[in-house]
């Protein structure tokens, strides 16, 4: 999320005739861009993203009759331009959709998949028998999964949209062509990746002109990405999954575009990998049933595997429902939130992966299991960490114990957006290329970075003699923490929230729900409140959280401070059709929320 002078992104509607893209005879006027604000209240639809330009693009789609899915795709494509180190067509994500007509929640799994050449030892150095260091694995072809973002956009539009993919790529292509001002965050993300980016001629040419990041205040343009978007708009996603763009993706993975004169040095060899055109052609999105947890009379829907987000958030809520948080002091409520999160993470690490059986997932989200887990929480002291996972076997009674849980963490990047339209449809969408900057490789001539999503697999077994649910395998999708969440009240939307942040995504979404539902905060207050992330180890916390709560917590909590956690967006649905759209006021530079018709506007 970056404060920047907004770039006008005109949406030129197109009509598909005989397989060709033809401009409409009369396109809409240039959009009137709203002032950048973290909160907006009004009617007629709303958009909240981590970037002001993307929010303006999505809002313009809504203003010209598009629905929530149309606007979400257009905004996401724009984020691929303005937030290229967090998301783009070289990555994947999860989309949760509420259909107002049927009052049903649907999901799309567009997570990246391992190529057929991957196996359980792919991240083990054959020379030493030890797992690669994270950065050694990341900056390589080994880390790149088959991207799912484009098919997510296509399939969402075909099922629920009212516009074509070609139409929704147009504004993003124009932003890429015209450019946008470089701010300090954009430049600093390049600087943080300079050694990695500098190893590849294609990445250096785009992001390190003259051997250094572009100057703050300069205009950044990406004509290659603009042309790639236009090529996909003209010829469809087949050009990516079976055609020339895909061939360039495969060539980049198999033969990393090493610079003859690198910018800086890199301590590891840069390894190729075995992704093929067959891997791309075989990729399909999935449409799993959403997870569901009933909490305080509300229905909380999330993403099923390979995401662990829906299961972990749902389990933690089920645990917390055993306690009256509203009657507690804020510190006592936060104690229970942290403990429930630790318990859910112990189970997440032990049991959840791409191939976890539906029976196990049902047990993890069951009320009887939650009751057994909740009985381990002590109001007077924090549990020693790491806590043990439970045994979701259907036989519940006492407070069970088991082997110590794995505490491995995900790296973090990602972006998130929330959209609602005038008809009541809602999209919560989290998309990513994993670490900031992905695997560091821009596909030559195409203008987008590849993901390093496969480093979300465990590099070696983590569960002792028990099966590890998150080891690499051919075609398998790595476990994710992305947690796009839609909350219903009596079948109608109440909240939609999501955030980036690696494994902290789960805790951020959970904490926002507790803040809003139990502690009586407004949605903007819940988004802005200081955060802590307990993932079955030392609690990672923002300084403001430690200052606000640490003195009132029972003994046993240990904190490591971090500047900020997550960068959330959300929409709340009020009586009378009013909407509150909220984005971060400060974190990652502040987000942008907007409504079609502002409440009280003259």
Residue among 372, 413, 522 nearest 92 (CA): 413
365 Cβ partners below 8 Å, 6+ apart? 291, 292, 293, 311, 314, 315, 318
Cα–Cα distances (Å) from 131 to 6, 379, 460, 493, in that order, read 44, 40, 7, 45
CB neighbours of residue 282 within 10 Å: 14
- DSSP notation for 288-353: PPPEEEEETTEEEEE--TTBSHHHHHHHHHHHHTTS-GGGS-HHHHHHHHHHHHHHHHHHHHHH-S
Those residues whose C-beta lies under 8 Å from the C-beta of residue 214, and which sit 6 or more positions away, are 182, 186, 187, 190, 207, 220
The pair of structure tokens assigned to 327 is: 């009657």
Residue 290: both structure tokens together: 């959403």
**Cα–Cα distance for residue pair 463/466, rounded to 1 Å:** 5
C-alpha distances out from residue 113 to 125, 281, 317, 358, 457, Å? 22, 12, 30, 20, 11
CB 94, CB 482: distance < 8 Å: yes
| CB of 474 closer than 8 Å to CB of 119 | yes
SS3 190: helix
For every residue of 451-507, DSSP letters joined together read P-GGGGS-SS--STTSPPTT---TT----B----EEEEETTEEEEEEE---TTHHHH
Catalytic residue among 78, 305, 414, 485: 414
Q: Where are the alpha helices (DSSP H) in 22-96?
A: 52-63, 68-82
What would the two tokens of residue 358 be? 């539906």
Integer-rounded Cα radius of gyration of the chain: 23
String of DSSP letters for 109-137? EE--B--TT--TTTTB-TTTSSBPPHHHH
**Residue 548, C-beta contacts closer than 8 angstroms, at least 6 positions apart:** 330, 530
260 is annotated as an active-site residue: no
Q: Which two tokens stand for residue 328?
A: 């507690």
Q: Which residues contact 327 (CB under 8 A, 6 or more apart)?
A: none
Nearest by Cα to 594 from 20, 19, 30, 55: 55
Instruction: Give the bridge partners for 452, in sequence order.
Output: none
Burial of 473 (0-12, 13-18, 19+ CB in 10 A): middle
Residues linked to residue 449 through DSSP beta bridges, in sequence order = 442
Phi/psi for 346 (5° steps) reads -60, -45
Structure tokens at 577: 């059709």
Catalytic center residues: 414
């Amino acid at each position: 999320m970056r404060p920047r002078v907004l770039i006008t992104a005109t949406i030129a509607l197109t009509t598909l005739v005989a397989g060709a893209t033809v401009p409409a005879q009369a396109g809409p006027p240039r959009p009137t861009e709203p002032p950048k604000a973290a909160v907006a209240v009004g009617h007629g639809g709303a958009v909240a993203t981590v970037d002001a330009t993307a929010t303006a693009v999505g809002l313009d789609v809504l203003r010209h009759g598009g629905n929530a899915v149309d606007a979400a795709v257009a905004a996401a494509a724009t984020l691929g331009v303005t937030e290229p180190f967090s998301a783009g067509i070289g990555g994947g994500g999860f989309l949760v959709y509420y259909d107002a007509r049927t009052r049903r929640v649907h999901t799309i799994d567009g997570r990246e998949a391992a190529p057929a050449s991957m196996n359980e030892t792919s991240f083990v150095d054959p020379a030493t028998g030890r797992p690669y260091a994270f950065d050694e694995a990341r900056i390589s072809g080994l880390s790149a999964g088959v991207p799912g973002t484009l098919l997510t956009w296509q399939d969402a539009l075909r099922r629920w949209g009212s516009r074509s993919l070609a139409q929704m790529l147009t504004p993003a292509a124009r932003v890429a062509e015209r450019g946008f001002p470089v701010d300090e965050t954009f430049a600093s993300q390049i600087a943080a990746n300079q050694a990695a980016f500098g190893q590849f001629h294609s990445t250096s040419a785009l992001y390190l002109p003259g051997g250094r990041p572009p100057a703050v205040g300069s205009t950044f343009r990406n004509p290659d990405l603009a042309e790639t978007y236009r090529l996909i708009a003209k010829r469809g996603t087949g050009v990516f999954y079976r055609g020339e763009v895909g061939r360039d993706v495969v060539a980049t993975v198999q033969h990393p575009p090493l610079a003859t004169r690198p910018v800086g040095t890199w301590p590891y060899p840069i390894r190729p990998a075995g992704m093929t055109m067959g891997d791309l052609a075989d990729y399909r999105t999935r449409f799993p049933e959403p997870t569901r947890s009933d909490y305080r009379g509300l229905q909380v829907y999330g993403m099923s595997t390979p995401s662990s987000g829906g299961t972990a958030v749902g389990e933690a809520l089920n645990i917390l429902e055993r306690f009256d948080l509203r009657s507690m002091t804020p510190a006592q409520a936060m104690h229970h939130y942290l403990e429930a999160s630790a318990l859910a993470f112990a189970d997440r690490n032990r049991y959840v992966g791409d191939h976890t059986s539906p029976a196990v997932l049902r047990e993890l989200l069951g009320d009887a299991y939650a009751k057994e887990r909740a009985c381990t929480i002590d109001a007077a002291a924090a549990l020693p960490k790491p806590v043990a996972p439970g045994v979701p076997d259907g036989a519940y009674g006492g407070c069970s114990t088991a082997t110590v849980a794995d505490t491995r963490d995900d790296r973090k990047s990602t972006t998130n957006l929330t959209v609602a339209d005038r008809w009541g449809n809602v999209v919560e969408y989290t998309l990513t290329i994993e670490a900031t900057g992905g695997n560091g490789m821009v596909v030559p001539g195409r203008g987008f970075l590849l993901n390093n999503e496969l480093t979300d697999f465990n590099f070696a077994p983590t569960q002792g003699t028990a099966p590890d649910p998150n080891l690499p395998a051919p075609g398998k999708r790595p476990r994710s923490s992305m947690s796009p969440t839609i909350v219903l009240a009596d079948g109608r939307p109440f909240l939609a929230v999501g955030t980036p942040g690696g494994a902290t995504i789960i805790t951020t979404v959970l904490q926002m729900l507790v803040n809003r539902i139990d502690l009586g905060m407004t949605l903007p207050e819940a988004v802005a409140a200081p955060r802590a992330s307990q993932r079955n180890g030392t609690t990672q916390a923002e300084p403001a959280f430690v200052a606000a709560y640490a003195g009132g917590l029972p003994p046993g909590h240990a904190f490591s401070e971090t500047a900020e956690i997550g960068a959330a967006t959300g929409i709340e649905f009020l009586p009378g059709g009013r909407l509150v759209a909220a984005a971060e006021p400060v974190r990652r530079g502040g987000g942008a929320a907007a409504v079609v018709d502002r409440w009280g506007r003259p």
